[in-house]
Amino acid sequence: MSAGRSGKRVADIEPARLALLNAGTIEAATLTECLAVDFAALMRAVLPDLGEDAIAAMQQAAGEGISRRMALAARLIHERRGLAAVGELRDHVSDTVRGWACFTIGTAEDMPLAARIAAIQPFADDHHFGVREWSWMAVRPHIAADLDNAIALLAGWTAEPSERLRRFASEATRPRGVWCAHLGPLRQQPETALPILEPLRADPAPYVQDSVGNWLNDASKDRPDWVRSLCAQWSAENATPATARICKRALRSIDRKG
């Protein structure tokens, strides 16, 4: 998760505010608050009908990383509620609960990639930074498993009016990414993702520019010459501040080595 950072520690969160986060009545305002949520308490408050065994499973996993706990919560929800839970949780006040819905979409078996990508779209366009990160993390394993199809589907998102959806197309396919497994085929052949990258090379939104620049910076760790060449081409063909910003971000690791 890469937004909403602050210098606060979990211990700095006011107890009354933490109680509201655990009750699911407010959203997290920072990454620190996202990490501070007690999943068992939140599940008891929001989904008590899942049963004490589900809540106990969340309590036992309290020491696990947040991505593992998100996946566990989704598995418990899917086992007891199925995909119907996604509709119930999609508009919940708690960003963590909406994140559970994202991972429930990721957990579902026998779901075609096109249907999964369509189901995650409202969460990819969520107003909350955390939900937007959970959305791509939740479906990334399925993107990795059917990469060519995923690129073809997400290429269509690059023309979406929402900068959040355009950014998702880039962020979900980063070769290395953060808090996620690498996409080996894109580390070796980043040009495969040009149907996504090309339409975004002069995107007006800094949110998208940063993601595309980070995508190419990922690629530069394995294919520096390709990234240099692509940035030179884009800079020659699109002499815009947006493209310049993307290329500067894309070349930062190469420039440091140089």
Counting Cβ atoms within 10 Å, is residue 82 exposed (0-12), middle (13-18) or buried (19+)?
Answer: exposed
Q: How confident is the model at residue 14 (pLDDT cuts 50, 70, 90)?
A: very high
Percent of the chain with pLDDT over 90: 91
The answer to whether residue 83 sits within a structural domain is yes
- Coil/strand/helix, residue 78: helix
The answer to whether residue 243 sits within a structural domain is yes
Last residue of a domain, one of 119, 145, 171: 145
Q: Where in the sequence is the domain holding 205, given as residue range(s)?
A: 162-258
82-127: per-residue pLDDT in tens?
Answer: 999 999 999 999 999 999 999 999 999 989 999 999 999 999 999 9
In this structure, what CATH number is given to the domain that contains residue 231? 1.25.40
94 plus 182 within the same structural domain: no
Tokens of 253: 């690791």
189 plus 140 within the same structural domain: no
122 plus 241 within the same structural domain: no
The answer to whether residue 70 sits within a structural domain is yes
What average pLDDT does the segment 148-156 reach? 98
132 plus 168 within the same structural domain: no
> How far apart, in whole angstroms, are the C-alpha atoms of residue 117 and residue 139?
8
- Has residue 19 got a pLDDT over 90? yes
Looking at residue 12, its pLDDT comes to: 85
52-92: per-residue pLDDT in tens?
Answer: 999 999 999 999 999 999 999 999 999 999 999 999 999 99
19 plus 141 within the same structural domain: yes
